[in-house]
Amino acid sequence: MELVSVAALAENRVIGNGDEVPWDLPEDKQQYRALVADSPVIFGRRTFEMFEDLPGTAQIVLSRTEREFDVETAHYAADVDEAVEIAESLGAEQAYVLGGAGIYALFQPHVDRMVLTRVPGEYEGDAYFPEWDEAGWELVDTEAYDGFTVETWARKGTVE
């Protein structure tokens, strides 16, 4: 199964400020929701609780505390391995990691691809996308939109 991080980040790697995203890009929301629509998504509890309209076919929520959810499609996971096991048990070919910052950092050594929306400018924030060694990654696609660019990165050795 392929693990893919999906994030929007500013030039200074900011992804959030408090419980808010510091920009409003409706077209980015549309493209990323279309990308993850047919697959399970993985995120932390706080990120899960921020969504009014949950993305993906199933939501795998990482939390330090075991919990149940009022959403039929939500599943609790204690760690990366359990999240991957749940996604595989759902028959998924891909699972998308949607944040927050701690979850991105936790999954970074495990993801096969990253789909990153690059937002121009630097923003104030308290949540950052983790740094990664570009030497281990290959930029395989770039798509320009009005006001942002979407880059697809593949871990070297996984590009066919």
**CA-to-CA distance for 132 and 75, rounded, in angstroms?**
28
Instruction: Report the domain count for the chain.
Output: 1
Put simply, whether the predicted model's pTM sits higher than 0.85 gets the answer: yes
Domain annotation covers residue 106: yes
For residue 7, the model assigns a pLDDT of 98
Judge whether 160 lies within some domain: no
Over the stretch 99-143, which tens digit does the pLDDT of each residue have? 999 999 999 999 999 999 999 999 999 999 999 999 999 999 999
> What per-residue confidence (pLDDT) applies to 160?
55
Within-domain flag for 150: yes
Residue 127 lies in a domain: yes
Q: What is the CATH number for 66?
A: 3.40.430.10
Residue 147 lies in a domain: yes
Q: Flag whether 65 is in a domain.
A: yes
Range of the domain at 130: 2-155
Model pLDDT for residues 41-91, shown as the tens digit of each residue: 999 999 999 888 999 999 999 998 888 888 999 999 999 999 999 999 999
- Say which residues have a Cβ less than 8 Å from residue 144's Cβ, sequence separation at least 6: none
Q: Is the pLDDT of residue 19 over 90?
A: no
What is the per-residue pLDDT for 111? 97
Tell me the three-class secondary structure of the chain, residue by residue: CEEEEEEEEECCCEEEECCECCCCCHHHHHHHHHHHCCCEEEEEHHHHHHCCCCCCCEEEEECCCCCCCCCCCEEEECCHHHHHHHHHHCCCCEEEECCCHHHHHHHCCCCCEEEEEEECCCCCCCEECCCCCHHHEEEEEEEEECCEEEEEEEECCCCC
